[in-house]
Amino acid sequence: MSKRTNYISWDEYFMGVALLSAKRSKDPATQVGACIVNNKNKIVGAGYNGLPAGCDDNEFPWDKQGDFLETKYPYVCHAELNAILNNIGMDLHGCRIYTALFPCNECAKAIIQSGITEVIYLSDKYNGSDTSLASRRMLDTAGVQYRKVEVHISKIELSFEEKDV
């Protein structure tokens, strides 16, 4: 018997982990996930956008508009920052980060400071916004590479049915 050929690529695998992490997000509008991988293709961190530990998801606002302090924006910790902070205690120098959304300027700072050297993103829907322009400026200057993820599939379906294992 010869080996399976329709297995997923490394990029599909790690972006898949980022997207699965995003499923934990409580943000009703935008769920973002991120996954950090070292140069041996081992996962060393993952995260999603959510409130800081101890801040109750039910007590804080999830609105996008209105009085700033009554929106989610001042409170949500972005997926990329959570993945960095959640890392398993590794030095992240030379690691790469897979993220569902191109990182904002604040996440770019954390990415650069942590030593991550490559960003692989799926959506770039805020391209052209000030946060995205500032992010690119810092990543470019600091020599952090970025590229859109390369995938050959449009969906992965997971079954939790025992019979499917």
Ligand X SMILES: O=c1[nH]c(=O)n([C@H]2C[C@H](O)[C@@H](COP(=O)(O)O)O2)cc1CO
So which residues are the catalytic ones? Answer: 80
Size of the site for ligand X (CB under 6 A): 17
> Are 154 and 45 in contact, with CB atoms under 8 Å apart?
no
Interface region with ligand X, contact rule CB under 6 A, candidates 10-18, 37-45, 103-111, 144-152:
103-111
DSSP secondary-structure letter at 88?
A: -
139 binds ligand X (CB under 6 A): no
Collapsing DSSP states into helix, strand and coil, what is residue 115?
A: coil
Return the H-helix or E-strand segment holding 130: helix 130-142
Interface region with Zn ion, contact rule CB under 5 A, candidates 13-21, 32-40, 104-112, 135-143:
104-112
Interface residue with ligand X, options 103, 110, 116, 139 (CB under 6 A): 103
78 binds Zn ion (CB under 5 A): yes
Strand order in the sheet with 33-37: 43-48, 33-37, 96-101, 118-123, 145-148
**Site residues (CB under 6 A) for ligand X?**
27, 29-30, 32, 49, 64, 72, 76, 78-80, 101-104, 107, 126
